[in-house]
Amino acid sequence: MGDAEKDRLALSVADRHCEFEEALAANRRKYPTREFLLFAEAVRLYVERTRIVPMIHRDVARSVHGLAGYLQVERRRAPGEVLLEADRLECLLFCGYDPHFDGDEPPGL
């Protein structure tokens, strides 16, 4: 993977994060779940394509670090699936594993 592709993916994550933040600020009544899911998809794509690269792009790390805690504090009633996905994104990016086994359960469970 070249630096140009890594930068392009990181820019996509940063753009989606900005759109999500704008949607959070624009409407206090309805939670912007669609924008969050688009952001989460961009992060998952970044993680998938840069799995072998030893360093994380600064903008991506900034966007995901502390995301679950921020979302809990930012709104009183953040949807549960959003909080779970935020925690999942942090684990995927910083720890390198997916804490949810959907369809990939160990034998015997």
User: What's the pLDDT tens digit per position in 20-66?
Assistant: 999 999 988 889 999 999 999 999 999 999 988 888 999 999 999 99
Q: How confident is the model at residue 96 (pLDDT cuts 50, 70, 90)?
A: confident
Are 43 and 93 contacting, i.e. CB atoms less than 8 angstroms apart?
yes
Q: What angle do CA 48, 92, 35 make, to 5 degrees?
A: 80
Global pTM reads 0.86
